[in-house]
Chains A and B, each alone.
Chain A
Amino acid sequence: MRRILSLITGMTLFAGLTAGCGLNAAGGDDGLTIYTARDKALAESVVKDFEEANPEYKGKVRLLTLGAQEAAERISAERGRPQADIWWGGSSQQLDHAANDGVLAPVPDQVRDRIPERYRDEQGRWVGEMILAEVVFYNDQMLTPEQAPKDWDDLIKPEFKDKIIVRDVAASGTMRSIYSAMISRNSTPDNPEPGYEWLRQLDANTKVYAANPTDLYLRIQRQEAPISVWNLQDVMLQQKKSGAPFKPVATTSGVPQLIDGVAKVKDGPNGAAADAFLDFLLSVDEQKKLGEEHFQIPTVEGAGEPSWLAPLGLHEMPVDWELVGGKESEWIAHWSDRIKNQN
């Protein structure tokens, strides 16, 4: 008994002491804190470049890698005492939502002016950093290019029954956008029913819904099924990083293109550093580099098109993103309630 009590006291003291002096809480008035949904290796390489270009921030940049939705939730919850300076990586819908919620500050004018109007918020509260192409891809160890689907509409053909794995839709910004794009493409603005019918047939062909991106990659690599839909950048990064046998399809009706952006957090602790980082990140040189090495399609004017893009032969699918923005919640809720797993 006494032994146990003294041990407990000892452990408490140890924890108290080390917590007091061993770990220093981050935050504070210098440096820069970035919440990012970008690939970790990509984000780290950008921070390295940034620190080289701005030596005064060397070793003072803190990166927090998390999902875009988690970043949104965190920034919103911390509004009373903002911890982040930058939110890097989020869909235009998520960024719009946060901007209207009053947690984002306008980016510096000279940064905003580098981005064409169609790729940013009107008031400059966020700017698009890249265009995310949403593609069909397949495991090329399981299918030849001839056997693979050629267009989105092929996905609902009977021959692909149980050959498709989809990342669970409701919890993923990317998937919500893809599914909404499919509804808007097949429907008229006031009647989503044909779009629902298309998704019903897709659900019938879907073997399983993967829990998260990694689960999706694993299942396709382990040959549970050959086909999926996801964003082009991640597909290409997987291919390059771990040699995943993923091959994107240049769908005949085009690929939906989303804007993925970056924003400055309102009243973040290091506003000046945030401005410097945005200025650096959205510079033509850095964007060119990201385009070539990390498969981004830049929005910044003058950064041009990366060399790997043209050979893929993709072209944009026209999507009414304004309509999608307004209807997405309703459509996805209907899909979750009435379509998912019921066909």
Chain B
Amino acid sequence: MSAPVVQTRRRKLPSPDGDRFVYVLAVPVVLVLLFLVVIPMATTAVTSAGGNGFAANYGSLFGGSSGQALLLSLVSSLLSVFFCGLLGTLLAVLLHRFDFPGRRALSVFAVLPMALPPLIGAVSFVLLYSETGILPRTLSALLGIDAASTSVGGLAGVVLVHAFTMYPYFYLSVSAALAGMDGSLEEAATNLGAGRVRVWRTVLLPMLTPALVSGALLTFMMSMASFTAPQLYNVQTLTMEIVSARTSGNAALAAAQSTALSVVSIVFLLSMRWYQGRRVHRSLSKGTPSARRAPASAGAKFAAALGSLLLTVVLLAPVLVIVLVSFSVDGAWTTQVLPTEYTLDNYLEIFSEPQSLLPISVSVQTSLLATAFAIVVGAAAAWVVARWRKPGRGLLDVVIMLPWALPGTVIGVNLVTAFNEPGVGNLGLTLVGTLWILPVAYFVRFVPLVFRSTSASLDQLDPALEEAARNLGAGPLRVLRTVTLPLVMRGVLAGALLAFVDGVGEYVASVVIYPPGLPPMSVEIYNRIYSSEFGTAAAYGALQIVLILIVLAVSNRLGQGPRQKRSAAAPAVVPTA
């Protein structure tokens, strides 16, 4: 069954005139990336040779605390990838292959943990699972188990936070892949006598490879650059070292450590590319998705519903904690399992201040703008990379992914340095102090999401489909519009959704660049935490979560769109897919 439909290696195609279009499209994409990514990044690399000198800065990475920190970052990132992959893939399969009561609701909530505002989100994990957290205190109150023995801390805590907040990178890309997958392949395999396990092993999982690679890359790089969770659980990762080097005023050492961080991520990126390149699995047909299976008996239905309810509660627990804190009185929740005094004051305080809605408006508008550009550039870049036949393909990939691997502070400082006075490198453009710097930063930071998830969709698609259209006389633009785009749209949208949601919650880069008087939401939340207005910070967090919930619900509805009318079994795009 594999011969005509699933290819096991890349097909060599002749290079017709239409291929020139790839290189024409590549020019603006490369220019944008050069301007916004490469030049600012080069500035950082140059900085890393200063201070105590190149040798001393990079030498500290071998042995010593920086070396250990690098190792710790690596271990926590690999563990995070493993658990996120497990959780995200299982959830995607559960929600897209089976039909059971509560599935629709769960599919909206499944992406919500990503909306957790970074700082307060991590605090909510502490309030849940630390020694004085809800869970250990409940267990100790009910069963008399010592709270210290059931608490989560250290490396396990970091991996816990990562697993529960980053699994959507797997969930969304696997969902998009499952939705775009051709159900006839599976049927064919089953008809040929393959058992369920064998179908998964030989047909479904290989087809999911691009999606899994994309999820693994995003998760790995994000864990490498993660700062809030290691700080809260006091795990000395490389990002912690970077901050401490900066605090000591050693910007050169910090730049060297940032460079090392991105090198590790690039190595991971290249090895994943190599792995994926060895096993290309594409579908030649236009996806006719397989139908969702409903549990047979009433008992199974009940079990599925109960299971999904439990799962929802576990996944949503951190979100619920934020909501709980937003209704409780500051400082009143001390030794009790749950807060004892409740109030509406935190919300009243936000809504009674004239300027309080400004941060929401700043975040929404700048993220929308950034997402729009990310869709255009990210999708175009993904297509260019996928169809590029000359050397330099990997380089382009690395350039786009680079900002994702770097801590947000580094991106922020890069941008401020590159755009704070008119010069040759920035074409006389100054962004510092204007609102434009926020969308630019979000664009740079989140274009990898659209790129990666579009690439995953493209990798599932055989170029022969485009070839066929061209042979039938369609011009390159028409091929893109009528063949390629419709087939990869799910991937583009999954990436765009991630980009928007991450943009609304972005903190680390924003805090370095936001113009005075126009704080984005996450910065406002941080400022409130900083001035110990924990309740109102949580109230802002809750508003942010509601906002993102609305976006998710709308995109979910949107995905069902007209397609749903034509065929009841067809899946939605995002995130139900």
The chain A residues found within 8 Å of chain B, CB to CB, are 1, 3-4, 7-8, 11-12, 14-16, 18-19, 22-23, 25-27, 33, 35, 39-41, 62-67, 69-70, 73-74, 77-81, 83-84, 97, 141, 168, 170-173, 176, 208-209, 211-215, 217-219, 221-224, 237-238, 241-244, 328-329, 332-333, 336-337, 340-341
Q: Bound state CA distance, A27 and B366, in angstroms?
A: 18
Query: Of A12, A26, A242, which contacts B532 at CB under 8 A?
Result: A242
Chain A residue nearest to B336 in the complex (CB): A222
* Complex CA distance for A79 and B416, rounded to whole angstroms: 10
**B433 lies within 8 A of A81 (CB):** yes
Known: A12-B368, A211-B228, A332-B244. 8 other contacts (CB 8 A): A22-B361, A23-B362, A65-B527, A77-B420, A212-B119, A219-B132, A221-B331, A223-B335
Instruction: Report the minimum CB–CB distance from A212 to chain B (whole Å).
Output: 7
Instruction: Tell whether, in the assembled complex, residue B365 and residue A22 are in contact, meaning their CB atoms are under 8 Å apart.
Output: yes
Q: Mark B555-569, 1 if CB is under 8 A from A, else 0.
A: 000100110000000
Q: Does B389 contact A (CB under 8 A)?
A: no
- Contact residues of B between 391 and 440, Cβ < 8 Å to A: 409, 413, 416-417, 420-421, 430, 432-436, 439
B365 partner residues in chain A, CB cutoff 8 A:
15, 18-19, 22-23
The majority secondary structure among interface residues of chain B is helix
Take A40-B531, A66-B511, A224-B131 as given contacts and tell me if A3 and B561 are in contact as well, using a CB distance cutoff of 8 Å: yes
Q: Can you list 23 A-B contacts with CB-CB less than 8 angstroms, sorted by A residue number?
A: A1-B485, A18-B361, A19-B365, A19-B439, A23-B358, A23-B362, A23-B365, A25-B434, A25-B515, A64-B519, A65-B530, A66-B511, A77-B417, A83-B515, A83-B516, A84-B516, A168-B231, A171-B243, A212-B529, A213-B532, A222-B132, A333-B65, A340-B236
- Find chain B residues with CB under 8 A from A238 CB: 532
Candidate in B243, B409, B430, B516 with the most chain A CB atoms within 10 angstroms: B516
Nearest-neighbour CB distance to chain A for B389, whole angstroms, equals 28
**What CA separation (Å) do A105 and B517 show in the bound complex?**
23
**Chain B residues near A242 (CB-CB < 8 A):** 330-331, 532
Chain A residues with CB under 8 A of B333: 222
Asked whether A215 and B123 contact (CB < 8 A) given A11-B368, A80-B421, A222-B335, the answer is yes
Residues in B528-573 with C-beta less than 8 Å from chain A: 528-534, 558, 561-562, 573
Contacts of A244 in B (CB 8 A): 331
Centre residue among A15, A176, A243, A340 by max chain B CB count within 10 A: A15
Residues in B neighbouring A329, C-beta threshold 8 A: 248-250
Measured between beta carbons, the chain B residues less than 8 angstroms from A80 are 420-421, 432
B residues in contact with A212, CB < 8 Å: 119, 231, 529-530
Query: If A78-B420, A243-B331, A341-B234 touch, does A19 touch B247 (CB 8 Å cutoff)?
Result: no
Q: How far is the CB of B101 from chain A (nearest CB, A)?
A: 29
Write out, one digit per residue, whether chain B residues 274-298 have a CB within 8 A of any chain A CB (1) or not (0). 0000000000000000000000000
Q: How far is the CA of A174 from the CA of B526 in the complex (A)?
A: 19
- Is there an interface contact between A221 and B334, defined as CB atoms closer than 8 Å? yes
Bound CA span A259–B372, Å: 48
Residues of A within 8 A of B561 (CB): 3-4
Q: Are B416 and A4 in touch, CB under 8 angstroms?
A: no
Q: Which residue of B lies closest to A172 (CB)?
A: B247
For B479, the chain A residues whose CB sits under 8 A away are none
Contact pattern, B 245-265, Cβ under 8 Å of A = 1, otherwise 0: 011111000000000000000
Asked if B247 and A27 sit within 8 Å, CB to CB, the answer is: no
B174-190 Cβ-contact flags toward A at 8 Å (1 or 0): 00000000000000000
